[in-house]
Structure 1
Amino acid sequence: LANVTMRVKEWQGDVVFLHEVGPGAADRSYGIQVAKLAGLPDAVIARAEVVLAGLEESEANSGPGGSGGAARLADDLPLFAAIRPTAGGGRGAGAPSAVETALADILPDSLSPREALDLIYQLKAAAEED
C-alpha cells in the first residue's frame, strides 16, 4: 500500500494534470480546478471558492491545531444550493411558475401514454409563455 498523487503543473492560472503518478501526497487540493474541468456550473464553482477562502482564513487566524471558524463554516456548506436563476423575469424563487404548479398536480402513474404526450405539449406551451 502506497500514497501516490498525480503530478500537476500550474500554467497561466490553470492546472495541467501531467498524466504521471508520483509518490507522496499532493501539495494542495485541486478540487475546484477539477470541478471546473468537469464543467460544474459557475455558481457552484464560485460558492466553492468562497468556502475555500473562508476555510483558509479561519485556519490562518486560528493558528496551529485550532479549528477557528471551520466548524461554523461547515454548518453552512450547502454547496449545491447555489443561486438558482428565476424563471419569468424577476419572479422570486418562492413563487412557482405555472409549469411548476401543473407538474406538482400530476399523477404520472395515472396517465395513459396519449395523456402524457398531450400534457408534455401543454407544459411546453406554458413554459414558452413564461
Structure 2
Amino acid sequence: MGGEPLTGSQQDVRTETSWPQPESRILVDESEPRSGVRVLGVAGEIDRLEAEAILARLDALLRAPDARLVVLDLSAVRFMGSHGLTTVVHAQRIATALGRTLRGVTGAANRAVSRPITMTGLDWVIDWFTSVPEATSTERP
C-alpha cells in the first residue's frame, strides 16, 4: 500500500488540517477476501480527521447486510494517536450492537500500533493479529 498508485478498491482520503500541520493523507484499501468477510486496510498516520474517515468506512462495512467479520488492518500505519484508539472502541461498539465481529491487524513488528493498543488495554477489547490471513482464517465469535 505504501507509495503505490491507487488502483482497484483503494481510496485516496485527504483531510484538511490547520496550521502548523501540513495537509495529511491516508490510504484506505477495502477488500472482501471471501463472502461475509471485509477488510479495511489503512496506511499513513491516524489522528482526529483521519480517524473520523476510518470510522465512517468501518461503520459502512459493519452495516453491510452480509458482513459477519470485519478486519481493520493497521499494519501500514506509522502513527496512531488517541483518536485512532477511540475509533477502534467506537467501531467495536457498533460491531457488538450489530452482532458482527471486528478484529484488528497490527503487523508483525509495528510498534506504532501495537504499543498504544497494549498500553491502553485495547488488546482486551478486540482480538488483534499480526496478519490479515491470520485474522480472517477463522470466524469464531
TM over 0.5: no
Q: Which structure has the higher relative contact order (CA within 8 Å, separation 6+)?
A: 2
TM-score by length of 2: 0.23
Query: Higher helix proportion, which one?
Result: 1
Give the number of the structure whose residues are more often strand, by fraction.
2
Structure 1 or 2, whichever has the larger Rg, is 1
Q: Normalising by structure 1, report the TM-score.
A: 0.24
